[in-house]
Structure 1
């Protein structure tokens, strides 16, 4: 299941629908969003909060989504730095050292050796 985060445009449209008195189930059909998603915004606004407050909370919670970056162990970092200083290529480094936390693509794709992202 894929999940698409709400954009500020969609939030504005939901708030406008609520202000115009449009029922939430009608707004869900027009926006192609889940009923609970629209009801959540409706309830938040009905409680006296603003759209800016909702978006701020939404962005804070959205930051917790997804896989967190993997921190390489210290011995792996020193090994990799030493081999890079000697002029080794990423293929050679990864092939010669078996205790690697993540793959070659994730360890070297962004040029950062210390942190590797999700393996794709």
Structure 2
């Protein structure tokens, strides 16, 4: 089961209940949350921050999670641009293995789609007629 994160409403409730001197057990029961979760927020509130500041810090820490985007070194990017200008497809560039590329074919196509490399420089294959 996935963890359901605290939202700003719940944090505000915890803050107001804390200032009303309600016990952690009672706050946890009212919000249907673990006591440890409530303790974490209350300990942060004791340091002098507000519920919204706590939420902003949480969001900042959460933004550091996840995988970083693959950025190719300049020599590999130049090699890819050169070979695409020669008429090679991304499949051919990776498949030939003449020069090591630090990504998969799927990632390379994604880079073309996200305009890291120019899509117009890819060789035209198949029909590209609009159906309008």
TM-score norm. by structure 2 comes to 0.61
Match of 1:65 in 2: 65
Match of 1:107 in 2: 108
Match of 1:36 in 2: 36
| Bigger Cα displacement from structure 2, 92-101 vs 70-79 | 92-101
Q: How far apart in 1 are the matches of 2:31 and 2:84?
A: 51
Match runs of 1:17-32 below 5 Å? 17-19=17-19, 22-25=22-25, 27-28=27-28
Q: How far apart in 2 are the matches of 1:75 and 1:104?
A: 18
Q: How far apart in 1 are the matches of 2:81 and 2:104?
A: 16
1:109 CA drift (Å): 1.8
Structure 2 residue 55 is matched with structure 1 residue 52: no
Are 2:12 and 2:51, in contact at CA under 8 Å, matched by a contact in 1?
yes
TM-score norm. by structure 1 comes to 0.65
Superposed CA RMSD in Å reads: 3.1
Bigger radius of gyration, 1 or 2? 2
- Please list every run of 5 or more consecutive structure 2 residues that lacks an aligned counterpart in the other structure: 118-132
Provide Cα deviations, 1:64-109, integer angstroms capped at 9, x if missing partner: 2222233212221111112233343222222123512121222322
